[in-house]
Structure 1
C-alpha cells in the first residue's frame, strides 16, 4: 500500500487541506503528515481513505500517476492488451505468468519502471491511444507503435517473455530449493523485479527516458549481487547449475529467449555449467590432500619424497 498516494488522492477528492482531511478522519494533522511520509496505517483507516478517494481496491499510486480513476482504467486496458499480445508472441516454451496479471500488479509495476527510467507520464491519457482494444486493426496498431509510451511498454513486455523464460528454466528452481534456504535473503528480490530487468534490455530514446542509463546500471548491479548470492549458496550446497545464472543480467533478451527455448525443448538436458565441474575437481583435490599423506606414511616414503614440478608442466 502506498500511503502517500492514498492520502494525496483523498486530499484531491476533498479539494481541501491536510487539516480538513484530519478533521474528517478524527486524527491529528501531524498523523496525516506521517502517512504522507510513508508511515504504516491501519486497514480500517486505509478503507476510510479509499472511500473518500472513491478508488475501491485500485492501486493508489497507479491512479495518482494516471491522473484520475477514469484515465487509470484506460491505461489498464492498454497495458493488459499489450501484455496479452506480447504473451501470444512468446517463443520460449514457458508461460510468462506476470503478463497474465493474476496478482494485479502489472500496471502499477509498469508505471514504476517507466518513472524510474525518467519517463514522464502524461497528465491525461493520450487521446490517440483511446481505442477499442477488442477490434484492433493494422491502422490502430500503427498508432500504438507510434506513441512512445505504448511502444516502450510493449517492448518491455516482449523482453519480459525472454527474461522470464530464462528465469523459469534456470533460476526459479534454485530460488525455491529448500536445501538452499533462500527465503528472507537477497534472492527474494529476483522474481519481483524481473520487469525492471526486462526494461534494461530494450532500446529506448534517452530524451524520452533521460534516466535510463542510471536505471540500467543500478538494476544490473542489483541482479549481479542477488544472483551471485544464489550461486554461492548453490556451490556450498553442491546443487548443480545448468547455466551461468549471470547470463540473465548480461545477455540480450533474444539470447535469453533462445537459451530458454532450447531448455524447454530438451536440448540442454545434459549441460552443466563449468562451475559444477570445478566444484567436483576441488572436492577431489581436497580428498587427495587428506588421503595422500597417510598413504605415503604407510609406504615409508613421506620423508624422502620431493615433488618434481617440472614433470607437471605440459610441453
Structure 2
C-alpha cells in the first residue's frame, strides 16, 4: 500500500493540515512527513487512513492517478468492461487470470503501465466514455474501442491473452516449481509484469505514448534477464523445456497465441526443446571424459597418446 498516496488523499478529502491529520491519528506531525516520503505504514493505520480518505477498497495510488474517487470509480467501470470484453475473445485455451482481477490490482497495473508509456491520464473522466457499457450498440462499441485511452487499454488486454497463455503453458510451472526455487529470485517478477510485456507487443501512436520506446526497451531487457534465470535453473535441475522460453520476449502476440493454443490442445505433448537434446549430449560427453582416461590406461596408451587438434577443425 502506498503510504504517500494515502496521506495525500486523506489531507485532500479532509481539507486539513498535516498537524490536524496527525492529531486525528494520534501520531506526531513528523510521522505524517515520513509517510509522505514513503515510510512503511502498518495495516491498522492504513485502514484508518483509507476510512478518513473515503476510498473504500480502491487502491489509493489509482485514486490519486485518477484525480478523484469519483473519477477512479468511472475508470474502474471502464477497465472492468474492457477486461471482460478482451477476455471473451481469448483463444489460447487458458484463462487470463490478470483480466479476472482476483487480486484487485488490474486498475493500478493498467494505469502504471500507461504512465510508464508516457500516456497522460485526463484530470476529468472523459464525458464521451461515461456511458452504460452494457447497453452499447455495435457501432457505439466500435466507437468506444477506437477512442484513444480505451483503444490502448483494450489492445493491451487482448495482447495479454496471448502473453499470459504462453506463460501459463510453458513458464508458470517452472516459476512455482519448489525444486527450482525461482520465485524468490528476480525471475519471480515474470508474472507480476506480464501486463507491461503485453503492452510492448502492440502498436501505439508515440504522440500519445511518448515514452513507449524507452518503456519497451527496459521491459524487454528485464524479461531477457528473468527468463535466463528460469532457463538456467531448469537446466541445472534437468527439467525439460517444451518451448524456447525467450519466445515470450521476441515473438508477436499472435505467435504466442498460436503456441499456447497448440499446447492447450495437446499438440506439443511429445515435443522437447533443443536445450534438452543439448543437455543429453553434454551429459554423454562428461561421462566419456570421466571414463576415457581409465580405458586408455587399461590399454597402456595413456602416456603416449597425443591429441592432434588440427583434425578437430572442419
- Shorter-normalised TM-score: what interval? over 0.9
Select between 265-274 and 74-83 the one with higher mean Cα deviation. Answer: 265-274
| Distance of 2:72 and 2:239 partners within structure 1 | 45
Q: Secondary structure at the match of 1:50?
A: helix
| Distance of 1:90 and 1:165 partners within structure 2 | 9
Partner of 1:224: 224
- Alpha-carbon offset, residue 217 of structure 1: 0.8
| Contact 1:62–1:111 under 8 Å retained in 2 | yes
| Contact 1:263–1:269 under 8 Å retained in 2 | yes
- Alpha-carbon offset, residue 164 of structure 1: 0.2
| Distance of 1:42 and 1:305 partners within structure 2 | 72
Partner of 2:297: 297
> TM-score with structure 1 length normalisation?
0.96
| Distance of 2:308 and 2:16 partners within structure 1 | 87
Partner of 2:160: 160
| Contact 1:129–1:143 under 8 Å retained in 2 | no
Q: Deviations over 1:199-224 (max 9, x none)?
A: 11111111111111111111111111
| Matched length | 314
State the superposition RMSD in angstroms: 1.4
| Distance of 2:199 and 2:48 partners within structure 1 | 36
Partner of 1:172: 172
Partner of 1:47: 47
| Contact 1:131–1:140 under 8 Å retained in 2 | no
| Contact 1:128–1:143 under 8 Å retained in 2 | no
Q: Secondary structure at the match of 2:135?
A: coil
Q: Deviations over 1:148-202 (max 9, x none)?
A: 1100000000000000000001001111111111231112101111001101111
Partner of 2:205: 205
| Distance of 2:298 and 2:211 partners within structure 1 | 68
| Distance of 1:145 and 1:176 partners within structure 2 | 36
Q: Secondary structure at the match of 2:204?
A: coil
| Distance of 2:307 and 2:113 partners within structure 1 | 60
Q: Secondary structure at the match of 1:134?
A: helix
> TM-score with structure 2 length normalisation?
0.96
Alignment of 1:19-98 (within 5 A): 19-98=19-98
Unaligned runs of 5+ in 1: none
Unaligned runs of 5+ in 2: none
| Distance of 1:12 and 1:313 partners within structure 2 | 74
Partner of 1:260: 260
Q: Secondary structure at the match of 1:93?
A: coil
